[in-house]
Chains A and B, each alone.
Chain A
Amino acid sequence: MDWRIGPVEYPGPNVSPGRNEPLRWLITFSSHFDRGGDLAKKPIGPIRRTFAPWEDPEKRPFIEFRNVTKRFGSFTAVDNLSQTIYEREFFALLGGSGCGKTTLMRMLAGFEQPTEGEIFLDGQNLAGVPPYRRPVNMMFQSYALFPHMSVEANIAFGLKQDGFPKADIADRVKEMLRLVKLEPFGKRKPHQLSGGQRQRVALARSLAKRPKVLLLDEPLAALDKKLREETQFELMDLQMDLGMTFLIVTHDQEEAMTVADRIAVMDAGRIIQVATPSEIYESPNSRYVADFIGDINLIESKVVAKNGETTRLRATELDIEFDVAQTTDADIGDAVAFGIRPEKITVTMDKPDADFSVHAEIWDIGYLGDVSTLHCRTEDGHNLRAGIANVTRLVERPLTWDDKIWMTWRKDAGVILRH
């Protein structure tokens, strides 16, 4: 599979375009040195990562969930889940509320005990180890700053529990304050800080003990969008600099895709897919993941023919037959879904010179500034969404309501989904 950016040059809703791009490159560049030369088997998408210990069978997992089940009464929060996480990895658990992601993290922290199964950290079975003896620290969604202690005392709290010498504690606290850029605020109480500053204190406190693993429970949920985006990149830099393993729980897919090396998409206590952000976006393994991450058109289809590397599909509800540059283990005649992201659909006013095209009418336009989403209706009443990048500053768009347009896509633009 070779996934390139589609004919419409828009990187997709996962990567915010423009100013973040050079930074992303810088980070991936430095990771090349930091993280040794594990070569990804086949890089997908425009972001090339060289950090992929999960591809290396020799590598020992750092955290391992082995057949973990957690039940609360009759409710199963985590269902026979097994997953490995590697050292220095930034791993994201992504899912809607009640999917078991937070429970999974709390079991690693020691606040919940698995009903069945075991959790290993650095080779050690964590069963029976109380939270205060686990080499992991957690940053809480509510920040959980101690309101009766100053910022300095909050950061020093964990170090004091470990019996560090006083001078060392003072040094470490100073270092942490510098790290999160809060040096002038050391003497303040948490209620004298803004939301963003509190978030940084919580981060400094959870990092102060240099834990083997940092757990982040929806760490940025309370921040506004601008601050959240900045903090996401700061988190990535921090994780890179400190060489620590980060496990983040989030329901925000953009956040997961920005920060994580790998994402586990969870639903009903199970992991549906684990992969790098670009793999999750470009080759989801199921309708659930495809639909959960970003925007996608799911076209019900039947397999018509399989010729080597390509598969021919016939859309059951649209009058088209088209090739997809992907092999499938579905048999000829099987019903599958064809998933295509809106931005990978080419929209033209004239009938394109392609093997197939769909004739449709623009029903609605969602103008988002950087992109517009065209909601189109085919002649037989089916909806398809196409994304177009607004590369010029025209206020009057060439495409408008009720325009008749043609849609087509490249062989390698979409993905066949069996489940």
Chain B
Amino acid sequence: MNRGPTWFNITSIALGFSFLYLPIVILVIFSFNASRLVTVWGGFSTKWYGALLHNQQLLDAAWVTLRVGFAAATIATVLGTIGALVLARMGRFMGRSLFSGMIYAPLVMPDVILGLSLLLLFVAINQDRGFWTVMLAHTTFCMCYVAVVVQSRLVGFDRSLEEAAMDLGCPPVKTFFLITLPLILPGVLAGWMLAFTLSLDDLVIASFTTGPGATTLPMKIYSQVRLGVTPEINAVCTILVALVTVGVVAASIVTKHRTVRRQRDEQLAAAGA
């Protein structure tokens, strides 16, 4: 059954991918449009990228977004990792199902409800909304994604490694930092990246919980688009797409490199070198 690709395969793949990626390609192309009109091609230009550098509002929004993303991803990673450890390691304790249910709830909870409830909370405790409230809101929903990623890494973790460390005289907390953490680090980093991306991308929850002076980039883009799409927005989006692409490609190259080296080492070891 080793047939080459049929016309049906080729067409379906082409249609599928163009449905997914054609809009992004068009966006990237129009970010280099010299004309002010979004849908009319007026020749190649990079002037919108130059204009971006002088758009202080957009730059401020980008800076807020990065700060929120960084802080929220970091706190969510610490808390999510602890949550995952409890779920994977503590065995059956009282209220385990409730605990795991509560950790995973934000995965399925609509953003609107999450945002609204957080807004009500901040209003109730009379908290001025701004950078800190957005960051806290992002931490809460990012935490569960980190917990899921880290827990999947912990499931495949050989517990006898921790037992061996303790057997050799290493107390439990030190064991976590010397043995467990270095080995689940890829999972923890992946969790951090996911949390950072989610925070970067969030519009709904941020709109509910933000206040004056803490407009995030997605909010800024959204509000500008309501006044009409400008090539400047296309330029911002192109930069974001480029950043994500570089990140993904770099990660896959590192992984591939490691796998190849590991396979070579194992072959050498098996050959009795």
Contacts and interface: CB of A to CB of B under 8 A. Distances in A.
Contacts of B105: none
Given A191-B265, A192-B265, A209 B168 contact: yes
A192 to B, nearest CB: 5
Contacts of B167: 109-110, 131-132, 134, 136-138, 206
Q: Which of A131, A136, A162, A197 has the most B CB atoms < 10 Å from its CB? A: A131
B188 to A, nearest CB: 14
If over half of B's interface residues share one DSSP class (helix, strand or loop), that class is named, otherwise mixed; here it is helix
B185 to A, nearest CB: 9
Given A146-B165, A191-B269, A194-B270, A161 B158 contact: no
Nearest to A197: B269
A114 B205 CA distance: 51
Nearest to A194: B269
A205 B163 contact: no
B269 A161 contact: no
Interface in A185-218: 189, 191-194, 197, 205-206, 209
Contacts of A206: 167-168
Interface of B: 158, 160-161, 163-172, 174, 179, 182-183, 262, 265-266, 268-270, 272
B207 to A, nearest CB: 43
A147 interface: yes
Interface string A139-153: 011101011100000
B272 A148 contact: no
Contact of B170 (A132, A141, A142): A132
B164 A144 contact: yes
B163 A111 contact: yes
A132 B166 contact: yes
Interface of A: 109-111, 130-134, 136-138, 140-142, 144, 146-148, 157-158, 161-162, 189, 191-194, 197, 205-206, 209
A128 to B, nearest CB: 15
Nearest to A148: B182
Contacts of A147: 183
Contacts of A111: 163
22 contacts: A110-B166, A130-B166, A130-B171, A132-B166, A132-B167, A132-B170, A132-B171, A138-B163, A140-B164, A144-B158, A146-B161, A146-B165, A146-B179, A148-B183, A157-B165, A158-B169, A161-B169, A191-B262, A191-B269, A194-B269, A194-B272, A209-B168
A148 B180 CA distance: 10
Given A148-B183, A191-B262, A197-B269, A138 B170 contact: no
Given A141-B160, A206-B168, 18 more contacts: A110-B166, A110-B167, A131-B166, A132-B171, A133-B169, A137-B168, A138-B163, A138-B167, A140-B164, A148-B182, A161-B169, A162-B169, A191-B262, A191-B266, A191-B269, A194-B272, A206-B167, A209-B169
A192 B179 contact: no
B163 to A, nearest CB: 6
A141 B164 CA distance: 11
Contacts of A197: 269
Contacts, number: 73
Contacts of A157: 165, 168, 170
Q: Which of A146, A191, A206, A209 has the most B CB atoms < 10 Å from its CB? A: A146
A22 B265 CA distance: 39
A158 B268 contact: no
Contacts of A110: 166-167
A131 B262 CA distance: 33
Q: Which of B168, B262, B268, B270 has the most A CB atoms < 10 Å from its CB? A: B168
A111 B174 CA distance: 17
Nearest to B182: A148
A141 B265 CA distance: 23
Nearest to A192: B265
Q: Which of B164, B170, B174 has the most A CB atoms < 10 Å from its CB? A: B164
A414 B166 CA distance: 48
Contact of A131 (B163, B265, B269): B163
Contacts of B174: 161
A164 B219 CA distance: 58
A166 to B, nearest CB: 17
B80 to A, nearest CB: 22
Contacts of B170: 132, 157, 161
A193 B270 CA distance: 7
A140 B159 CA distance: 11
A191 B262 CA distance: 8
A205 B270 contact: no
A377 to B, nearest CB: 47
B157 to A, nearest CB: 11
A140 B160 CA distance: 7
A99 to B, nearest CB: 20
Contact of B160 (A137, A142, A148, A205): A142
Nearest to A142: B160
A206 B165 CA distance: 10
Q: Which of A109, A111, A132, A137 has the most B CB atoms < 10 Å from its CB? A: A132
A130 B164 CA distance: 13
Contacts of B266: 191-192
A76 to B, nearest CB: 19
